[in-house]
Amino acid sequence: MLSPISSNIFVPAIPTLVIDFKSTSEHISLAVTIYLIFQAITPSFFGSMSDSFGRRPIYLATLIVYLGANIGLALMPTSAYWLLLVLRALQATGGSAVISIGAGAVSDVAATRTGYIHVLRSVFQAGAMIGPAFGPLLGGVFASTLGWRAIFWFLRRKARRDPDHEAEEKVDRPAKKPYQPLSAFWILFTPEILLLFIFTSLLYLEFYCVLTVYSTALLDTYHLTELQIGLCYLPSGLGSICSSLLNGRQLDYYYRKEEARVGGDYRKKPDEFRIHLTRIRCLVPFMWWAPFSSRSAGAWSRTLHLRQPSL
């Protein structure tokens, strides 16, 4: 949750940062763009490193970078705009490792619990969406009470954890793989993966385009406070959490139904198992709900103009 919450927790404070840094909203929003660029690229390297050198050493090393970046962001002078961008890049580099390492850990656990692999992945994804859901709200609370610097002190505090004194479970560790830094990028040469990558990128493009300009639009048009701006981000985040959990449940349901039909797993009977149909079925509820919700929100916003931000 560290990386997702760090990407947008200070978005409600963008208007305040514009004043303090004597800059424009476009320049301050660039700090979000810098974060997203490093958040997208660095997990590809850390994922391969965790397979070769172990997940815990990589996690601890990147956590130190993340803590240092948050301390720097909390103490940086407002006269150094370039420092904001550099520290945001370091913050993304340190915090984004948990994305790839967390996904790898879920795969490790799911390997011994084959019946719940999609549920485990949906729970992991829902946990990652808690940051975008509550991040702007927390950022609005800190910006309106303690100031925007408290946002980064909070992130530093949240990243600190007490040592785990519980007994470790003994497991058979797989052999370490050779480090291949570009291994994650080679899969883009697979046409199916490339198409999925482009489609998902367009969704995130739309999401973060709205995310960065939303706070400024709400301030200029509706004259909301930082706390009210943070509340306006809450519905979309909660919707993402619910859809992630729902999708994991229904994906497991359809997989088990198809396994019962063919009498085995899709790895054992790849010719009989309709894996593509099983996955596409999960899109049907969202395909119906998305146009309906968009039309309903548009009609409501035209009728009740003042309530448009909460939609």
Count the Cβ atoms, other than its own, within 10 Å of residue 51: 20
In the chain, the N- to C-terminal Cα span, in Å, equals 25
- Residues near 272 by beta carbon (within 8 Å), at least 6 away in sequence: 262
Provide the token pair at 256: 């088990």
Provide the token pair at 56: 């815990």
**CA atoms of 85 and 279, how far apart (whole Å):** 40
**CA atoms of 294 and 280, how far apart (whole Å):** 22
Provide the token pair at 174: 């797989």
In sign, the C-alpha dihedral spanning 135, 213, 207, 309 is positive
pLDDT truncated to tens, each residue of the chain (311 aa)?
666 778 778 788 888 888 899 988 888 888 888 988 888 888 888 877 877 777 788 888 888 898 999 999 999 999 889 999 999 999 988 888 777 776 666 666 655 555 555 566 666 666 666 777 777 888 888 888 888 898 888 888 776 654 444 444 555 555 667 777 777 788 888 888 888 888 888 877 877 777 777 777 777 777 888 788 878 878 877 777 777 778 777 888 888 888 888 887 777 787 888 888 887 887 777 777 766 666 555 555 555 454 444 44
Provide the token pair at 259: 């396994």
Q: Name the pTM for this structure.
A: 0.71
DSSP, residue by residue, 246-297: HHHHHHHHHHHHHHHHHTS-TTT-TTT--HHHHHHHTTHHHHHHHHHHHHHH
Q: What is the pLDDT of residue 311?
A: 44
Q: What is the pLDDT of residue 277?
A: 81
